[in-house]
Every structure is written in C-alpha cells, then in structure tokens.
C-alpha cells in the first residue's frame, strides 16, 4: 500500500498570503495524484487531478505540481473560503489511498 504523508499538519496563514502544501508518497505514483478540499460539515471537493490539472470550476489561484514521490499544492493568495482541510490521493496502485490531510487555518 502506498502511504501518502502530508505536511505540515496545520498551516496558519492570513488572507492574501500564499499557501504551500506538501504530499510525499512512499513510492513513485508518477503523476497520478489528486488534491481535494474539505470544509467543515461538507464532503470533499476535487481541486487538482493528475498532479497539475485543475478540475472544472476551480479558481486559477489553485495550482499543483510534482511527479514521482513529491507533490505540492499552492494557493497563490488565500481567500476567506480557502481555509479548510486539504487531502492528496493517489491512483497509481491499489488500494487507492489518501494522505492524512493539511488544515489551513486563519492566523
């Protein structure tokens, strides 16, 4: 099973700042990595797939990069609605697995 390790666990930032979230895989997942956003009391929402492709309707301030074992989700300028928990997920190998999440909180 591929283990995805997200860091940091919590990121405290102010609106307008840049957020950089990391996801590291225990073995290569090529570019088969996605990012999801989850707000309290809501289901997750797909943000990025195949490491760097924004899903439909996702604002341009969200971007993803990386391949192999190291991936990054960047939010260029945090909006109030961006404070949430973010999860990465790989589809390279069964079973599909998620990282433990990074909470982006208001500083």
Partner 1 sequence: QVQLVQSGTEVKKPGASVKVSCTASGYTFTGHYMHWVRQAPGQGLEWMGRINPNSGGTNCAQKFQGRVTMTRDTSISTAYMELSGLTSDDTAIYYCARDPKPVAGINWFDPWGQGTLVTVSS
Residues that bind partner 1 (CB under 8 A): 34, 36, 43-46, 49, 55, 87, 89, 91, 94-101
Q: What CA–CA distance (Å, rounded) separates 20 from 5? A: 14
Please compute Rg for the chain using Cα positions.
13
17 or 46, CB closer to partner 1? Answer: 46
2 or 19, CB closer to partner 1? Answer: 2
Of 74, 77, 102, residue with least CA distance to 88: 102
Give the DSSP H/E element, type plus range, for residue 24.
strand 19-25
83 or 86, CB closer to partner 1? Answer: 86
17 or 52, CB closer to partner 1? Answer: 52
Of 72, 65, 86, 66, residue with least CA distance to 22: 72
Cβ 15 to partner 1, closest distance in Å?
A: 25
Cβ 14 to partner 1, closest distance in Å?
A: 25
């Amino acid at each position: 099973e591929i283990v995805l390790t997200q860091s940091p666990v919590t990121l405290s930032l102010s609106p307008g700042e840049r957020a950089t979230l990391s996801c590291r895989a225990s073995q290569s997942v090529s570019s088969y990595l996605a990012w999801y956003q989850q707000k309290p009391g809501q289901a997750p929402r797909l943000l990025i797939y195949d490491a760097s492709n924004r899903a439909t309707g996702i604002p341009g301030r969200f971007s993803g990069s990386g391949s192999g074992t190291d991936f990054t989700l960047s939010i260029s300028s945090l909006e109030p609605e961006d404070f949430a928990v973010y999860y990465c997920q790989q589809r390279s190998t069964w079973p599909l697995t998620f990282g433990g999440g990074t909470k982006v909180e208001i500083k």
